[in-house]
Structure 1
Amino acid sequence: MAVEFYIPKMSDHMEEAIFVEWLVADGDAVEKGQPILVIDTDKVVAEVEAPADGILVGIRPGLENGATVAVGVTVAFIVGDIADEVPALEPLDAPAPDSAAAEAAEPSQLVTTVDSATAASGSGAALGATPAGRKAARELNVNLVNVVGSGPRGRISESDVRKHAADASSAEVAAVPEDRDAAWLELTPVQGVTARRMVESMSEVPQFSLARHLDLTAIVAVRERTGGDAGSKPSVTAYLVKAIGLALAEHPRVNGFFREGRIEINNDINVGVAFGTDVGLFVPVIHRADRLSVSEIADALARLRGLADGQAFTRDDLSGGTFTLSNLGMFGIDEFRALVNQPQAAILATGQVSKALVVDSEGTISIRDRMTATVTADHRSLDGVSVARFLSSVANFLLDPDEHGGMAT
């Protein structure tokens, strides 16, 4: 009996994916759980695993690199015997399945990871490296773009990586055109996804930004009172996530999506936090941030940071975000403007905490710990007043955490 192999639904809002490559060929034997297909979604570059043992047959015509495929579309079959008959699939440009069929599509087993050594190549071939090959590449700090695979269709094995590492003469030299003093650097798959999403954000979303100072004097004092070294204390980011969560609860419209001319208000408050890695930007999610303590958020951030180092996020880690925080304060940045992460209504960008002389309404001068926060919002969903009120709520939660029980560690 033939098993349909289809494009899985990897998140609540995923409707399509971009085909990258097959890791096996038509007629190849596959095992359940074996990665056989690579797709590019709005969130991640993912390997889709075989749902059953058998032989891959009947690959849909027109499925080539860069092709867009709707969720639920059958792209091949897995049969027990090569002689088993399967229906001929229409070319890819045929009508996609109806929305009900796509909604019913259950996720196949997925490996939603992009290893730095793998993704640095920016090519589908490198994504065809075996798990052992990718592990060896990480251990030996080998860029897979320079490794020649000896397996089927150039698949890179552990021995290929170790052979390359042992060759002292191999060096990663960027190709330089003879007629110009320049080098070409290919985008990693993650960077490619980010580039596409940012172009869409700039071209499709009417964006505006509001900025204000956040007084973190009390937060800094709380952190100083907390025992242990700096690494064991909740970070400023953890307090920001908590304050954002509480403020979103007060201003639910900011926690919404703009879709098809309407605003969808999300019941759950899930704050995505931007993480930079060697292969590009990821935005893993702190789910139900308004209900977590600051310490719980700090633990979640620490776990996500550990996963970011190896790009080992799960599908749930990267799904369900309703608002995004991008904090570059640890790099000495004072302030910046981020782009809206569609379909979210807004994003908050924060800079470093610094000392400032502040004159209050009574003329008293004091030294305060402050950071600049900039909210960029989708003007179709939000206006200036609603964003200003939201940002004011964030500021108030941070100004006096002792007054707000929800800000307790």
Structure 2
Amino acid sequence: MSEVVVMPAAGNSVESCLLSEWMVKAGDTVDENTIIAAIETDKSSMEVPAGVSGTVLALLVEEGDDVPVKEPILVVGEAGEEVDPSLLSGAADEPSEEAPTSSTPSSSHPGAGSVSVTDDDDAHISGTRQEGGDSPTSPRARNLAVSHGIAADALAGSGPKGRVIERDVRAAIAAGPGLTRAARASAEGFVPGTAGSGIGGRVTRADLIEGASQTVAAPAVTQPGFPGNYTDQPLKGVRKVIAQRMMSSLENAAQLTLTATAPADGLLALRKKLKNAPESMGLNAVTIGDLVGYAVAKTLTRHPMVNAHLTDGVIRSFDSVHLGVAVDTPRGLLVPTVQFAEAMTLKQFSDTSKTVAHAAIDGSISPDLLGGGTFTVSNLGSFGIESFTPVLNEPQAGILGVGTITPRAKALPDGGVGIENRLWLSLTMDHQVYDGADGARFLKDLVEAIANIELTVMG
């Protein structure tokens, strides 16, 4: 008997995962420990074991698809076995929608239960059925439509107030094959009724590409009109998660940015000294960013309201500093945490910062190190950026943007003019948690800690 493998839940807050690579194909033999796919979340990448034994009968999603957790991704059974359509619809054991009942849906196979829909028409299993309400599509109808590549929102509903119900979706299925999710993303110009090569006659992206190759190409336009050539890219995967978090941060916090500069000649001198130190000391790899981050951790211990969270109207200030370090990774911005940063030596802080940053970049970081930060540092100095407005990393009440070091004129004691190097600092604060004067005092103390960095390190 065939079984489905579903997208695993990679964490309590993860709603979907990006299937980045299939490790198997239809016809392959797998056992419980066979790695079938590589997936990515906004936090890390991981491998998915089959969990069952048998022959791969069908791959239900394509590489690059953003798949909700618990949605079927693969069917395993005996070689030559037909794929049971009920495994794909997730509604075989549910009571008839035309005969309402108070009983709960069966969970005897993956996919049973209701389906909640995200704004990009993906779906994930929620485990409880939600009847009625103002939804234009019933949960069971949505589940059945997704499994057959049918755009439920485009159907005419026969239920109460025009609601799309199961019989409407079944009528659309009977009228002709649907499209897979990947095919729907590129289905402009699709002619209904076209037979596909997918399960149940569904049209796949490969079918659309093959059909397009057989059409007559339009004459080339040498001078494209306004607005010219462009490329559309769906907001999905990690990029979508980052976008949602940034918008949520701006909506939920009263963000104010204060900018200052700190004398940087001491930083540059100490960095040079550490770089030339004996290798046995292990300080050669300490960077300007490490020195600034270390100064931040030490300074935050004297400003608990800056080293704080705001959650559900409650301000929680922390005695310890768990410093988030913004890292540019191939999958987007991640913020791993250096835990108990204030208690570390400079070498420990530098080594730990590099360890968590490299783990974030290669996708091997533990999810536990991507949360719990009490304050974040974002460094764009290497790009030549002087000043910018970093966005708060919720629920944190502060984030420091570190800019580049620039030369500035300086009045000398003899009345002449000299040059000094200054480091740009931008503090974005949540004005709900503390006032501008509190943020200014923190920046003032941080500037002093950086100006006297050798003493800060010694302390």
TM-score (normalizing by structure 1):
0.62
Deviation at 1:278, TM superposition (A): 4.1
Contact 1:273/1:283 (8 A) holds in 2: yes
Contact 2:308/2:318 (8 A) holds in 1: yes
Matched residue count: 318
In 2 relative to 1, CA 96–263 (structure 1 residues): closer, same or farther, beyond 3 Å? farther
In 2 relative to 1, CA 332–227 (structure 1 residues): closer, same or farther, beyond 3 Å? closer
In 2 relative to 1, CA 48–406 (structure 1 residues): closer, same or farther, beyond 3 Å? farther
Matched, 1:387 2:385: no
Matched, 1:347 2:399: yes
* Alignment match of 1:240 (pick from 292, 300, 320): 292
Give the match for residue 188 of structure 2. Answer: none
Contact 1:253/1:265 (8 A) holds in 2: yes
Deviation at 1:351, TM superposition (A): 1.1
Which consecutive residues of structure 1, in runs of 5 or more, have no partner in the other structure?
57-64, 98-123, 126-151, 155-176
Counterpart code for 1:272: G
Deviation at 1:207, TM superposition (A): 0.7
Question: 5 Å matches for 1:209-220?
Answer: 209-220=257-268
Contact 1:5/1:51 (8 A) holds in 2: no
Question: 5 Å matches for 1:319-338?
Answer: 319-338=371-390
* Alignment match of 1:197 (pick from 231, 234, 245): 245
Percent identity between the two aligned chains: 22
Matched, 1:90 2:137: no
Separation of aligned partners in 1, 2:240 and 2:313: 28
Contact 1:215/1:370 (8 A) holds in 2: yes
SS in structure 2 at match of 1:246: helix
SS in structure 1 at match of 2:423: strand
Separation of aligned partners in 2, 1:90 and 1:96: 5
Which consecutive residues of structure 2, in runs of 5 or more, have no partner in the other structure?
57-64, 79-105, 117-124, 129-180, 183-198, 205-223, 278-282
Deviation at 1:275, TM superposition (A): 2.1
SS in structure 2 at match of 1:370: strand
Deviation at 1:348, TM superposition (A): 0.6
Counterpart code for 1:44: K
In 2 relative to 1, CA 406–272 (structure 1 residues): closer, same or farther, beyond 3 Å? farther
Deviation at 1:334, TM superposition (A): 1.3
Give the match for residue 181 of structure 1. Answer: 228
Give the match for residue 101 of structure 1. Answer: none
Contact 1:338/1:347 (8 A) holds in 2: yes
Counterpart code for 1:192: K
Separation of aligned partners in 1, 2:410 and 2:376: 29
Give the match for residue 35 of structure 2. Answer: 34
Contact 1:335/1:351 (8 A) holds in 2: yes
Deviation at 1:253, TM superposition (A): 2.0
Counterpart code for 1:294: L
SS in structure 2 at match of 1:402: helix
Separation of aligned partners in 2, 1:214 and 1:402: 14
- CA root-mean-square deviation: 4.7
Q: Tell me which of the two structures has the higher relative contact order, counting C-alpha pairs closer than 8 angstroms and 6 or more residues apart.
A: 1
**Structure with larger Rg:** 2
Deviation at 1:273, TM superposition (A): 1.8
Question: 5 Å matches for 1:97-116?
Answer: none
Deviation at 1:15, TM superposition (A): 3.6
Counterpart code for 2:423: M
